[in-house]
Amino acid sequence: MTTHSPAIPLHITQFIDDHAPGYVACTLRDAHGIEHKFILTTRAAGRPELAADSSYPQPGALACEIEFEWEDDAGTALARVSTRRPWAAASIDGMSSFVVAAAQLLRAPAV
């Protein structure tokens, strides 16, 4: 049986470098509306097929670990996620822990 990590959606804005495996600029919007910027390999961004001549923007997804889930006072389901595993990914500001709306999470179906 294969298990898949949950993931958070990304907005891939541009191709940065074609040095193998290829690097893209991406953004993640957290539950507070703050945009976090990443430079990731195309594989870590969930889109290994992207290249410099692909059209942008593109959707992507970054695998993560769910650290904690809860509901805020308004009843909104939230999750704190870490992007340290499996890709050791951090934003350009060095952040790897984010609070996102639980509805944002992409989860593998239960088997």
What confidence tens digit (pLDDT) does each residue in 54-91 have?
999 999 999 999 999 999 999 999 999 999 999 999 99
pLDDT of residue 1: 31
pLDDT of residue 2: 37
When pLDDT is averaged across residues 37-41 and rounded to a whole number, the result is 98
HSE-CB at 51 with a 13 A cutoff on CA atoms is: 2
What's the count of helices (H) and strands (E) in the chain, helices before strands?
0, 7
Q: Where are the beta strands (DSSP E) in 1-111?
A: 7-17, 23-29, 35-41, 58-63, 65-71, 77-82, 97-101
Can you give the pTM of this predicted structure? 0.90
pLDDT of residue 20: 85
Q: For residue 104, which phi and psi values (nearest 5 degrees)?
A: -70, -30
| Residue 111 pLDDT > 70 | no
Q: For residue 100, which phi and psi values (nearest 5 degrees)?
A: -125, 160
pLDDT of residue 81: 98
3-class secondary structure, 102: helix
